Each structure stands twice: as C-alpha cells, then as structure tokens.
Amino acid sequence: MEPIKKSARLTPTKPTKNRYLHSPNHLLADELSVQLNDRKHFGFYLKIAGTYDHNFLRGLVGQILENKNAKTPGRLFAYLIKQHNESLKNPK
C-alpha cells in the first residue's frame, strides 16, 4: 500500500485561469470562438459580445450547433448576425 503523502500528490490540481479573460465579454467571446471552432476570429466575437445581449448570442450559437449541415459554423454565425442587423434596420 502507498503512503498517504504519495497518493495525496496525485489529486488533480485546480484549473488555472486564463489571465487574458478578465471580463464577461472576454469570457463569452472565448466561449463562442471555441464552440464555433473559430479561434482565429476571437476579436470579432469580442466585438459582438460587447454589442449584443449575451443570452441572444448563446441562443444563436445553440441554433447553429443543432444544425448538423453547417460546415462552417463561424461563417453562419456572422451571416445570422448580419441578417439580424438588417431586420432591425428594415422592419417589415
């Protein structure tokens, strides 16, 4: 049997926080870029997170992820944001 000291060292450590994600907008932008598999456009998601309601954006991402036909979910997200803006400018 192992001594207690040795087994205590094998316990998982607390996950480290990313020091660059310091605001709710940064956290949401990271979440969106990871879920949509589009890490290189983090700046775009950061701008969107600062502009729109966070619940609206999470709902939009949920709809995109449910759609199995979306080959480029990041591009679809940008398109849907653009459509949302146009619908606000030109209500029918």
- Residue-wise pLDDT for 17-31, tens only, equals 666 668 889 999 999
Q: CA angle, 20 as apex, 16 and 25 as ends, to 5°?
A: 110
Let me know: does 30 contact 20? Beta carbons within 8 Å. no
Domain boundaries, the chain: 23-89
Residue closest to 66 by CA, chosen among 85, 87, 47, 58: 58
Model confidence pLDDT, tens digit, residues 41-71: 999 999 999 999 999 999 999 999 998 898 9
Q: What is the pLDDT of residue 62?
A: 94
